[in-house]
Amino acid sequence: MKKIISFFIVVLILLAGITAWLLLGSGTAFAEKNKFFIITENETTPTEVVSVLEQKYIVKNTTIFSLFANALGIWKNVKPGKYEVKKGASIVDIARMLKNGKQAEIKLVINKVRLKEDLAKLIGKSFSTDSTEAMLFLTSNDSLRSFGVDTNTVFTMILPDTYTFYWNTPLQKIFTKLKTANDNFWAKNNRKEKAASVGLTPEAVYTLASIVEEETNYNDDRAKIASVYINRLNINMPLQACPTIKYAMKDFSITRIYEKYLFNPSLYNTYRLKGLPPGPICTPSPKCIDIVLDAPKTNYLYFVAKANFDGYHHFSSNYAEHNAYAKEYQKALDIYMAKKKQQP
C-alpha cells in the first residue's frame, strides 16, 4: 500500500513539475528579443486571440495557453491594443498581460515636420488610426476648434519631442496631450511675457521660429536672423523669407529662388504679402522658439548666405551693403550650378 501511495505521490510531483514547466517556463515561439502583436476591435474572442498568437508565432503551445487562459478567465477582460511579449515570457505572463490589458507603449517621435500630410503619415504608422483619418482631422476646422487652432495654425500647438501613447489612443486624446505639452512649455521661463515684449503672440513667435528654423542650422546665426525679421515686422517691411516660397510651392528641394517663384499667389508668399504667413511652415525646435524669444536687438534689416556656402550669413543694416554681399553670393552660386550641370 505504501508503495502505491509513494508511486502516486511521485506521479503527482512529476505532473506538478511538468505543469509548472509548461506554464512558468519559456512559452514563446520566436528567437527575437521581443515581438509585438495587435488585437483589433474584431479579434477579442478566444478563437481569434489564439489565432493571432499562433499566426504571429508568439506562443509555443497554443493548446496549453488556451487551457490556462480559460482557467484564469481572461477572455472577458481582453481588450484591443498592441502588446509586447519578450523572449522567454511564460504562458502565465502572457495570459496575465492580456487579462490586465497591459498594452505596449507607443513612442510618437516628432521632429521637424513641414506638411500636415507628413504628420498624418507619422500618426498612421504608429496608431490604429490610419493616415487618411488623421489627415481629415488635421484639415477640419470643426475638429481643431476645441484646441483653439485652425487648419493653418494647427502646428503651433505641436512641439517636437517624444510622446508616449497606446496604439489605439484616439486622435482627440493624442492632440490633447500635444496641446498640454505645448501649454506647459509656454507657461515656463516667462515665454509669454517675452513674446508680448516684442509685440507677438505665442502663435506668432512659433510661426516666426518656423521660418528661422528653415533658414540655417546654426543657432548663433538664427538669433541674428530672428532679429532681422522682428525688425522688418516692426516697420511693416515684407519678410521676403525664401523658406516661405519653398513652402508655398511645396518643393523643399529648391536651392535657388528665381524671380518667377515670387509671383506665387499663396498666402505664404512673404515676398508678395507683408507680415507673417497664416501659420508655421514647419514644427520648429523648442530651442529655436527660445532663440526667437531671446533675439538680440540689432539694426539689421537684411541678410544673405555667405559665398563660401558654410551655412552662415552676412547681415546688413543698409541695402547697398546687402546688395554687394548678395552679388557675391549669386556669382558663387552661378559657378556652383554651372559645375553641377557639367557633372555626368
pLDDT digit string (tens) for 20-38?
444 445 667 788 899 999 9
pTM attached to this predicted model: 0.87
What is the set of domains in the chain, with CATH numbers? 2-100 (3.30.1490.480), 106-180 (no CATH), 191-300 (no CATH)
- The pLDDT tens digits of the residues spanning 135-186 come to 999 999 999 999 999 999 999 999 999 999 999 999 999 999 999 999 999 9
How many angstroms separate the first and last alpha carbons of the chain? 95
Residue pair 61/75 in contact (Cβ under 8 Å)? The answer is no
**CA 65/CA 78 separation, integer angstroms:** 14
Which whole number is the average pLDDT over 118-143? 96
What b/e readout covers 229-242, taking b as 16+ CB neighbours within 10 angstroms? bbbbbeeeeebbbb
Query: What does the mean pLDDT of the chain come to?
Result: 89
Lowest pLDDT segment from 22-26, 75-79, 108-112, 204-208: 22-26
Look at residue 3 in the predicted model and tell me its pLDDT: 54
